């Protein structure tokens, strides 16, 4: 899998379907993809390999640890497999749209090994107090 970068602004169609932008989707090299209701009010798109790596620790959670079991249920319940039609569209469920505050327009961001899908208003709110020069100085390159 390639390192995924960039952003694309696009829209849901009238049936709440979305097409993952080709320039971002191609980096997944044909892997099965999953929507994840993620923290911060966005939807993440994970390829099977990256999702498996992130969820590895859930295998060790025992049924006698009630708090961790609740967390495991919440995490696994927030994941939906992406099923595309023959035109490459997938329906964004009501739960996903509500979680992300998406009604029509979306912005999809490459995040290295996964994507984030945002309502533009929320994305702008997340990034407005982080000028690009501050972002570059916050993360060592």
User: According to the model, what pLDDT value does residue 125 have?
Assistant: 81
Alpha carbons 54 and 8: distance in angstroms, whole number: 25
User: According to the model, what pLDDT value does residue 141 have?
Assistant: 63
21 vs 17, 46, 68, 80, 88, CA distance in Å?
13, 14, 35, 19, 10
User: According to the model, what pLDDT value does residue 1 have?
Assistant: 76
Which residue in this structure is represented by tokens 């009604």? Answer: 103
Residues written for the chain: 141
71 vs 50, 60, 119, CA distance in Å?
19, 13, 26
User: According to the model, what pLDDT value does residue 80 have?
Assistant: 96
Domain 7-138 matching CATH 3.40.50.920: the answer reads no
For the chain (length 141 residues), average pLDDT per consecutive 10?
91 96 91 93 95 91 89 94 96 95 96 95 81 75 63
Alpha carbons 108 and 59: distance in angstroms, whole number: 30
User: According to the model, what pLDDT value does residue 13 have?
Assistant: 96
């Amino acid at each position: 899998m390639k390192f995924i970068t960039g952003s694309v602004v696009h829209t849901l169609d009238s049936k709440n379907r979305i097409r993952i932008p080709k320039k971002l989707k191609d980096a997944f090299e044909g892997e099965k993809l999953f929507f994840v209701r993620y923290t911060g009010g966005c939807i993440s798109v994970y390829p099977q390999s990256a999702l498996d790596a992130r969820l590895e620790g859930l295998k060790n959670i025992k049924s006698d640890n009630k708090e961790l079991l609740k967390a495991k249920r919440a995490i696994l319940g927030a994941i939906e497999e992406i099923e595309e039609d023959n035109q490459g569209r997938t329906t964004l469920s009501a739960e996903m749209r509500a979680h992300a505050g998406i009604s029509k327009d979306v912005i999809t961001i490459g995040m290295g090994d996964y994507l984030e899908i945002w309502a533009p208003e929320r994305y702008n709110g997340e990034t407005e107090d982080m000028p690009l020069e501050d972002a570059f100085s916050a993360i060592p390159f």
